[in-house]
Amino acid sequence: MLSSTETRWFLNKISSKEIENWFNAKGVFFKSEDFFPRQDYYLKQLDKNLGVKIREPKKDENGNLKTQLEIKILSNDNGATKFNNGNNGYVNSWKKFSFSLVSNEAEMSKIINSFIENSNYSNDWIKIDKDRLLLKFNTKSELLVSPDSIIDEGAGIELTKLKINETVYFSLGIEAFSTTNKELENFNATSNFLFNDLKIAGLDKEDSLTYPEKLISILK
Protein backbone atom coordinates (compact mmCIF):
# COMPACT_ATOMS: atom_id res chain seq x y z
CA MET A 1 0.00 0.00 0.00
CA LEU A 2 1.26 3.47 -0.93
CA SER A 3 0.03 6.79 0.45
CA SER A 4 0.08 10.03 -1.53
CA THR A 5 -1.03 13.65 -1.35
CA GLU A 6 -2.02 15.10 -4.71
CA THR A 7 -3.52 17.86 -6.76
CA ARG A 8 -4.44 17.94 -10.43
CA TRP A 9 -5.80 20.33 -13.05
CA PHE A 10 -7.37 19.41 -16.40
CA LEU A 11 -6.42 21.85 -19.14
CA ASN A 12 -6.71 22.36 -22.89
CA LYS A 13 -3.81 22.37 -25.32
CA ILE A 14 -3.38 26.14 -25.29
CA SER A 15 -3.37 26.53 -21.50
CA SER A 16 -0.98 23.59 -21.10
CA LYS A 17 1.61 24.87 -23.60
CA GLU A 18 3.58 26.96 -21.08
CA ILE A 19 3.82 23.92 -18.81
CA GLU A 20 4.95 21.73 -21.72
CA ASN A 21 7.65 24.30 -22.55
CA TRP A 22 8.88 24.10 -18.93
CA PHE A 23 9.34 20.34 -19.25
CA ASN A 24 10.95 20.72 -22.69
CA ALA A 25 13.52 23.14 -21.25
CA LYS A 26 14.49 20.34 -18.85
CA GLY A 27 14.88 17.80 -21.64
CA VAL A 28 11.51 16.02 -21.34
CA PHE A 29 9.26 15.79 -24.42
CA PHE A 30 6.07 14.09 -25.59
CA LYS A 31 6.69 11.22 -28.02
CA SER A 32 4.79 12.95 -30.85
CA GLU A 33 1.65 14.97 -31.50
CA ASP A 34 -0.77 12.08 -32.05
CA PHE A 35 1.01 9.16 -30.39
CA PHE A 36 -0.15 7.77 -27.06
CA PRO A 37 2.25 4.99 -25.96
CA ARG A 38 0.38 3.99 -22.81
CA GLN A 39 -3.14 2.66 -22.27
CA ASP A 40 -4.93 2.36 -18.93
CA TYR A 41 -8.40 0.87 -18.45
CA TYR A 42 -10.63 2.44 -15.79
CA LEU A 43 -13.71 0.87 -14.29
CA LYS A 44 -16.80 2.94 -15.07
CA GLN A 45 -18.28 3.90 -11.72
CA LEU A 46 -19.71 7.03 -10.10
CA ASP A 47 -17.89 7.09 -6.75
CA LYS A 48 -15.50 10.07 -6.71
CA ASN A 49 -13.69 8.60 -3.69
CA LEU A 50 -12.58 5.47 -5.57
CA GLY A 51 -10.51 4.70 -8.65
CA VAL A 52 -10.02 1.23 -10.16
CA LYS A 53 -7.81 0.66 -13.19
CA ILE A 54 -5.90 -1.95 -15.13
CA ARG A 55 -2.50 -0.32 -15.52
CA GLU A 56 -0.65 -0.26 -18.83
CA PRO A 57 -0.95 -3.87 -20.04
CA LYS A 58 2.18 -4.93 -21.91
CA LYS A 59 3.47 -8.11 -23.52
CA ASP A 60 6.74 -9.49 -22.18
CA GLU A 61 9.52 -11.05 -24.29
CA ASN A 62 7.50 -14.29 -24.46
CA GLY A 63 4.35 -12.56 -25.68
CA ASN A 64 2.52 -12.92 -22.37
CA LEU A 65 0.27 -10.03 -21.37
CA LYS A 66 1.26 -8.63 -17.97
CA THR A 67 -0.29 -5.84 -15.94
CA GLN A 68 -1.45 -4.69 -12.51
CA LEU A 69 -4.80 -3.89 -10.99
CA GLU A 70 -4.65 -0.62 -9.03
CA ILE A 71 -7.24 0.56 -6.54
CA LYS A 72 -7.06 4.10 -5.12
CA ILE A 73 -9.19 5.11 -2.14
CA LEU A 74 -9.59 8.69 -0.93
CA SER A 75 -8.29 8.93 2.64
CA ASN A 76 -8.62 12.69 3.19
CA ASP A 77 -10.06 15.67 1.36
CA ASN A 78 -7.69 18.52 2.20
CA GLY A 79 -9.94 21.07 0.51
CA ALA A 80 -9.15 24.11 -1.62
CA THR A 81 -5.58 25.41 -1.43
CA LYS A 82 -3.98 28.65 -2.62
CA PHE A 83 -0.63 28.25 -4.37
CA ASN A 84 1.95 30.79 -5.53
CA ASN A 85 1.20 33.05 -8.50
CA GLY A 86 -2.52 33.12 -7.70
CA ASN A 87 -3.08 29.46 -8.56
CA ASN A 88 -5.83 27.55 -6.76
CA GLY A 89 -6.66 23.86 -6.58
CA TYR A 90 -8.04 21.03 -4.49
CA VAL A 91 -5.66 18.78 -2.56
CA ASN A 92 -6.46 15.17 -1.65
CA SER A 93 -4.74 12.28 0.10
CA TRP A 94 -5.06 8.75 -1.25
CA LYS A 95 -4.14 5.16 -0.47
CA LYS A 96 -3.17 2.97 -3.43
CA PHE A 97 -3.25 -0.82 -3.50
CA SER A 98 -1.56 -2.65 -6.40
CA PHE A 99 -2.05 -6.29 -7.38
CA SER A 100 -0.11 -8.09 -10.10
CA LEU A 101 -2.46 -9.99 -12.39
CA VAL A 102 -1.66 -13.45 -13.69
CA SER A 103 -0.16 -13.32 -17.20
CA ASN A 104 -2.83 -13.68 -19.89
CA GLU A 105 -5.54 -13.95 -17.23
CA ALA A 106 -8.73 -14.60 -19.19
CA GLU A 107 -10.98 -11.92 -17.72
CA MET A 108 -8.33 -9.22 -18.05
CA SER A 109 -7.64 -10.22 -21.67
CA LYS A 110 -11.36 -10.03 -22.48
CA ILE A 111 -11.57 -6.50 -21.08
CA ILE A 112 -8.60 -5.28 -23.11
CA ASN A 113 -9.67 -7.07 -26.31
CA SER A 114 -13.18 -5.65 -25.97
CA PHE A 115 -11.88 -2.28 -27.18
CA ILE A 116 -10.70 -3.98 -30.37
CA GLU A 117 -13.67 -6.27 -30.87
CA ASN A 118 -16.33 -3.88 -29.50
CA SER A 119 -17.81 -6.40 -27.06
CA ASN A 120 -19.99 -5.72 -24.03
CA TYR A 121 -16.95 -5.46 -21.74
CA SER A 122 -16.29 -1.97 -23.07
CA ASN A 123 -19.60 -0.90 -21.52
CA ASP A 124 -18.09 -1.40 -18.05
CA TRP A 125 -14.57 -0.04 -18.63
CA ILE A 126 -13.17 3.05 -20.33
CA LYS A 127 -9.82 3.15 -22.11
CA ILE A 128 -7.57 6.18 -21.63
CA ASP A 129 -4.65 6.63 -24.01
CA LYS A 130 -1.76 8.53 -22.42
CA ASP A 131 1.57 10.18 -23.03
CA ARG A 132 3.27 11.71 -20.01
CA LEU A 133 6.01 14.17 -19.17
CA LEU A 134 7.37 13.36 -15.72
CA LEU A 135 10.04 14.67 -13.36
CA LYS A 136 10.55 14.03 -9.67
CA PHE A 137 11.39 16.60 -7.02
CA ASN A 138 13.68 15.34 -4.26
CA THR A 139 12.65 17.24 -1.13
CA LYS A 140 15.85 16.25 0.68
CA SER A 141 18.19 17.74 -1.92
CA GLU A 142 15.60 20.26 -3.20
CA LEU A 143 16.49 19.26 -6.76
CA LEU A 144 14.64 17.87 -9.75
CA VAL A 145 15.68 14.34 -10.66
CA SER A 146 14.80 11.93 -13.46
CA PRO A 147 11.56 9.93 -13.23
CA ASP A 148 13.60 6.73 -12.95
CA SER A 149 15.39 7.93 -9.81
CA ILE A 150 14.48 6.05 -6.64
CA ILE A 151 13.98 8.53 -3.80
CA ASP A 152 12.31 8.21 -0.40
CA GLU A 153 10.97 11.74 0.00
CA GLY A 154 9.54 13.87 -2.76
CA ALA A 155 6.89 14.11 -5.44
CA GLY A 156 6.25 13.49 -9.08
CA ILE A 157 5.43 16.47 -11.29
CA GLU A 158 3.64 15.42 -14.45
CA LEU A 159 1.96 16.80 -17.52
CA THR A 160 -0.16 14.07 -19.07
CA LYS A 161 -1.76 14.12 -22.50
CA LEU A 162 -4.89 11.97 -22.46
CA LYS A 163 -7.30 10.78 -25.12
CA ILE A 164 -10.72 9.79 -23.80
CA ASN A 165 -13.43 8.88 -26.30
CA GLU A 166 -11.39 10.59 -29.07
CA THR A 167 -11.16 13.88 -27.13
CA VAL A 168 -7.68 15.03 -26.03
CA TYR A 169 -7.13 16.58 -22.60
CA PHE A 170 -4.04 17.73 -20.72
CA SER A 171 -3.51 17.32 -16.99
CA LEU A 172 -0.95 18.91 -14.65
CA GLY A 173 -0.46 16.85 -11.50
CA ILE A 174 1.65 16.85 -8.35
CA GLU A 175 1.76 13.54 -6.46
CA ALA A 176 3.79 13.52 -3.23
CA PHE A 177 5.08 10.40 -1.50
CA SER A 178 7.07 9.61 1.64
CA THR A 179 8.52 6.74 3.62
CA THR A 180 8.12 8.69 6.88
CA ASN A 181 4.49 9.87 6.64
CA LYS A 182 5.50 13.32 5.34
CA GLU A 183 3.36 13.27 2.21
CA LEU A 184 1.73 16.65 2.93
CA GLU A 185 5.06 18.26 3.86
CA ASN A 186 6.63 16.96 0.65
CA PHE A 187 3.62 18.11 -1.34
CA ASN A 188 3.92 21.65 0.00
CA ALA A 189 7.66 21.77 -0.69
CA THR A 190 7.16 20.52 -4.24
CA SER A 191 4.29 22.87 -5.08
CA ASN A 192 6.29 25.83 -3.74
CA PHE A 193 9.26 24.83 -5.89
CA LEU A 194 7.13 24.26 -8.99
CA PHE A 195 5.30 27.57 -8.94
CA ASN A 196 8.47 29.49 -8.13
CA ASP A 197 10.28 27.87 -11.08
CA LEU A 198 7.30 27.71 -13.44
CA LYS A 199 5.82 31.20 -13.56
CA ILE A 200 2.40 30.07 -14.70
CA ALA A 201 -0.60 31.80 -13.14
CA GLY A 202 -4.35 31.42 -13.26
CA LEU A 203 -4.79 27.72 -12.53
CA ASP A 204 -8.30 27.59 -11.14
CA LYS A 205 -9.93 25.25 -8.66
CA GLU A 206 -12.83 24.82 -11.09
CA ASP A 207 -10.42 22.86 -13.29
CA SER A 208 -8.91 20.98 -10.34
CA LEU A 209 -10.38 17.49 -10.49
CA THR A 210 -9.26 14.01 -9.52
CA TYR A 211 -9.26 11.27 -12.14
CA PRO A 212 -12.49 9.78 -10.70
CA GLU A 213 -14.17 13.21 -10.79
CA LYS A 214 -13.08 13.83 -14.39
CA LEU A 215 -14.30 10.41 -15.52
CA ILE A 216 -17.63 10.93 -13.77
CA SER A 217 -18.07 14.27 -15.57
CA ILE A 218 -17.43 12.52 -18.90
CA LEU A 219 -19.65 9.51 -18.18
CA LYS A 220 -22.68 11.51 -17.07
Cα Rg for the chain, rounded, in angstroms? 17
What top-level class would CATH report for the domain 2-219? mainly beta
Give 205's DSSP letter: G
Residue type, 144: L
pLDDT of residue 102: 77
**CA-wise closest residue to 173 among 190, 149, 185:** 190
Q: Is the pTM of this model over 0.85?
A: yes
User: What is the domain partition of the chain in residue ranges?
Assistant: 2-219
Q: Does residue 121 have a pLDDT over 80?
A: no
Q: How far apart are CA 128 and CA 38, in angstroms?
A: 8
Q: How far apart are CA 99 and CA 54, in angstroms?
A: 10
pLDDT, tens digit, 9 for 90 and up, residues 131-172: 999 999 999 999 999 999 999 999 999 999 999 999 999 999
Mean pLDDT along residues 34-49:
93
Say if CB 158 and CB 175 are below 8 A apart: yes
